[in-house]
Amino acid sequence: MQKFSANLGFLWSDRPLLDRIDAAARAGFKAVELHWPYDTSAEEVKARCASNHVVLLGLNTAVGHATKGEFGLAALAGRQGDFIRSLDQATAYGRIAGATSIHVMAGVVATDEKAKARSILAENLALAAEKAPDLTLLLEPINQRDKPGYFYSTIEEAASLIAEIGAPNLKIMFDVYHVGVSQGDVFTRLKRHLPDIGHVQIAAVPSRAEPDEGEIAYSEIFKQLDRLGYEGWIGCEYKPRADTDAGLRWIETLGVSL
């Protein structure tokens, strides 16, 4: 049986973060996940989740200098100090707010620096896993159409780092949208990597809208997750076509419930 969380980076993005938590609870979600909540106090997020009886799942490490095109720091040469600060910021915030996972963002790297970036990323992830044994650290391959140059865009690259580092709290963020855009063969990849999957996210391919359109049959994805015995949350990380509440019709259309 699926359980869905509301990604408040994209859903109800027309209002302040704390109000998004209220909106998610009103719509029936029992869990929420965040992108970069750092402008809102962690104590307030914790209190608002508690008063709405929703669980907080995760948040992302900082992107770095967004205006210079940075999108995470963990794979960047010469930036280990900045990476550690971003990790400490995310883990401190997450622990206060009551989160259970952190998406450790790898970053954009030049093609000819990929080998070096991989060893930096491996080193930083090993350190992060040691510093935050109480949190699940998620590695998310992101498609190259949306984020050209992002360190990884395949599930296999994330899985190979996890296998190599061997820390139990490193897991894959399996975003079906990114896998659909970059690779396809979603059933096979879910099955093959299930033990390493810490979180699943969904959105239509190629539009990234509600999961009731496009080339991925999400009702079949949900059945496959059930068949495989996936017991984790499924994050609704899509960009609503219009009003978020009106867009939630997909839940009924696909025959699932929150």
Ligand X SMILES: O=C(O)[C@@H](O)C(=O)CO
Copy the structure tokens of residue 163. Answer: 């296998």
Task: Using the rule CB under 5 A, give the single segment among 14-22, 106-114, 174-182, 225-233 that binds Mg ion.
Answer: 174-182
33 binds ligand X (CB under 6 A): no
What angle (nearest 5°) sits at the alpha carbon of residue 145, between those of residues 158 and 66? Answer: 80
60 touches which of ligand X, Mg ion, none (CB within 5 to 8 A by kind)? ligand X
Answer yes or no: are the C-beta atoms of 135 and 96 closer than 8 Å.
Answer: no
- Give the one residue of 139, 175, 204, 238 binding Mg ion; rule: CB under 5 A: 175
Taking the complex as a whole, the smallest distance from the CB of residue 255 to ligand X amounts, in Å, to: 25
What angle (nearest 5°) sits at the alpha carbon of residue 187, between those of residues 109 and 24? Answer: 75
* Helices of type H across the chain: 17-27, 42-51, 80-97, 114-131, 155-165, 176-182, 186-193, 218-228, 244-247, 250-253
Q: What are phi and psi of 174, to 5 degrees?
A: -90, 90
DSSP calls for 107-135: -B--GGGHHHHHHHHHHHHHHHHHH-TTS
Answer yes or no: are the C-beta atoms of 89 and 36 closer than 8 Å.
Answer: no
By CB atoms closer than 10 A (0-12, 13-18, 19+), residue 123 is middle
Q: Compute the distance between CA of residue 244 and CA of residue 240 in angstroms, rounded to an integer.
A: 6
- Give the one residue of 237, 238, 247, 250 binding ligand X; rule: CB under 6 A: 237
Which residues fall within 8 angstroms of residue 229, CB to CB, at 6 or more apart?
194
- Our CB check for ligand X shows the closer of 153 and 201 to be 201
Q: Which of residues 138-167 bind ligand X (CB under 6 A)?
A: 140, 142
Pattern 61-100, ligand X, x by CB under 6 A: ----------------------------------------
- Our CB check for Mg ion shows the closer of 175 and 210 to be 175
Taking the complex as a whole, the smallest distance from the CB of residue 93 to ligand X amounts, in Å, to: 15
- Give the one residue of 60, 101, 201, 244 binding Mg ion; rule: CB under 5 A: 201
- Give the one residue of 5, 60, 91, 124 binding ligand X; rule: CB under 6 A: 60
Active site residue 33: no
Active site residue 213: no
Taking the complex as a whole, the smallest distance from the CB of residue 237 to ligand X amounts, in Å, to: 6
- Our CB check for ligand X shows the closer of 47 and 196 to be 196
Taking the complex as a whole, the smallest distance from the CB of residue 216 to ligand X amounts, in Å, to: 15
Rg, Å, the chain Cα set: 17
Q: Summarize as ranges the residues that interact with ligand X (CB under 6 A).
A: 35, 60, 103, 140, 142, 175, 178, 201, 237
Q: Summarize as ranges the residues that interact with Mg ion (CB under 5 A).
A: 175, 201, 237
